[in-house]
Every structure is written in C-alpha cells, then in structure tokens.
Amino acid sequence: MTLLDPIKRRTSVRDFIDKPVEREKIMLCLEAARLAPSACNSQPWRFIVVDDGQLRGKLCDAAFSGIYSANSFCKTAPVIVAVVSEKSKFMARIGGMFRGTEYHLIDIGIACEHFVLQATDLGLGTCWIGWFDEGAVKAILNVPQQKKIDILIALGYYNPARVSSEHNREPIDKIASFNSY
Ligand SMILES: Cc1cc2nc3c(=O)[nH]c(=O)nc-3n(C[C@H](O)[C@H](O)[C@H](O)COP(=O)(O)O)c2cc1C
C-alpha cells in the first residue's frame, strides 16, 4: 500500500448510502486535517462536523436550495463538514499581502485534502462542496457573520459499484516540466 493508492481511489462521491459514520473514523479524518502544514503554522481553520440527522437535514435544506440546488445530492450524505476560515498569523497575512497570495486558502485546501484522503483510506466517500448558501450555513451553525466558510465536505459510506473512479486528468507532460516553463 502506497500513498498513491488512496489518492487514486479518491473520487467525488455524490450518492451516499444511509449508514452512519462512526465518530472514531471522523476523528481520524480530523486528525489528518489537524496535521496539515500551513503558512507560518497558522492553522487557520475550524471544522464543524454536522452528524446530527435533524440538524443536517435543516442545514442541507437551507444550503442547497434555489440556485444551489445542483448540490442537493448532499442531502444523502450522513455527515457534512463546514470548514470555517480562521485568521492566519500576522506574518502570514503580511506576507500574503506583499505576495498577493491568499495563503489561508492554500492552507485550508491542504487540510481538507488530508481529511478527504484519510476518509478514502477508511472506505468513506467524500465530495468537496464549494457551491452553497454560505449565509444560511453560518446562521444554522452559529458561525459569526464576519467569518468565511469557503468549503464544505460531504462525507459518508457509498456503494463503490455506483461510483466511477476514473480520473479525467491532463497528462503529466502537459502539466509539468523539468528545469524550465
Ligand atoms: C474547491 C472545490 C470545490 C468543489 N465544489 C463542488 C461542488 O460544489 N459540487 C460538486 O458536485 N463538486 C464539487 N467539487 C468536486 C469537483 O467537481 C471534482 O473534484 C472534479 O470534477 C474532479 O473529479 P473527482 O473529484 O471525481 O476526481 C469541488 C472540488 C473542489 C476542489
């Protein structure tokens, strides 16, 4: 088993089965996210795990209605994780301003991918969700309005026979080169 195995197996799951996810498994995913690197070790994230059925239903109804209804498949996910962006350390923010780089988004991306790959390794399916009603999510989860939720993660068991793990990606020679652009 190499790291490339879960990386290859991970695919976006949009059809979950009705089976609760064990808290111990969620904790392992959170531990993987916790260990992610971040600019100046800012760790600018907070993960709100919604696994209470009633709250999750309310959250999904609010987050994925109207223009966001393309993601209403998330209603089948037994767990939704809301990733709140927290303030980066001063040096990361100043450095980011000089560089014109949103380091906290890079940081959150790494942490979420750690989460997702650990979930894959545990036999769970995930889908990154960037298209949702953020205001509604913040209101339901008591997140202060001035904070940002850039991403949700849908998490749950799924039927692998119903999910294609084929990756539609550019070949390596189109995305990478040695020693020059
Ligand atoms: C930042 C980000 C936001 C995404 N938002 C959504 C989304 O709102 N809805 C959705 O169904 N998939 C979403 N995806 C999943 C992508 O569509 C998917 O990763 C991509 O098509 C590659 O397919 P794969 O994950 O199966 O390899 C998102 C992925 C990322 C990284």
Query: In this predicted model, what pLDDT tens digit does every residue of 80-128 receive, in sequence order?
Result: 999 999 999 999 999 999 999 999 999 999 999 999 999 999 999 999 9
| Residue-level pLDDT at 49 | 98
Q: Which CATH number fits domain 17-159: 2.60.40.10, 3.40.109.10, 3.50.50.60, 3.40.50.180?
A: 3.40.109.10
For the stretch 17-47, pLDDT in tens is 999 999 999 999 999 999 999 999 999 999 9
Residues pairing with 152 in the sheet: 82, 129
Is 79:50 a contact under the CB 8 Å cutoff?
Answer: yes
CA-based angle 106:77:71, to the nearest 5? Answer: 65
| Residue-level pLDDT at 162 | 87
DSSP 87: P
| Residue-level pLDDT at 143 | 98
Cα 150 to middle of ligand 1, angstroms? 13
Task: From 69, 102, 114, 129, give the residue whose CB has the most ligand 1 atoms within 8 Å, as the site to mutate.
Answer: 129
Domain boundary assignment for the chain: 17-159
| Residue located via tokens 């089965």 | 17
Task: From 9, 128, 152, 153, give the residue whose CB has the most ligand 1 atoms within 8 Å, as the site to mutate.
Answer: 128
Q: Who lines ligand 1 at CB under 6 A?
A: 11-12, 14, 71, 127-131, 151, 167
Task: From 8, 10, 12, give the residue whose CB has the most ligand 1 atoms within 8 Å, as the site to mutate.
Answer: 12
For the stretch 134-181, pLDDT in tens is 999 999 999 999 999 999 999 999 998 888 878 999 999 999 999 999
Cα distances (angstroms) measured from residue 56 to each of 62, 67, 68, 98, 144: 10, 19, 16, 40, 19
| Residue-level pLDDT at 164 | 84
> Is 1's pLDDT higher than 80?
no
| Residue-level pLDDT at 61 | 97
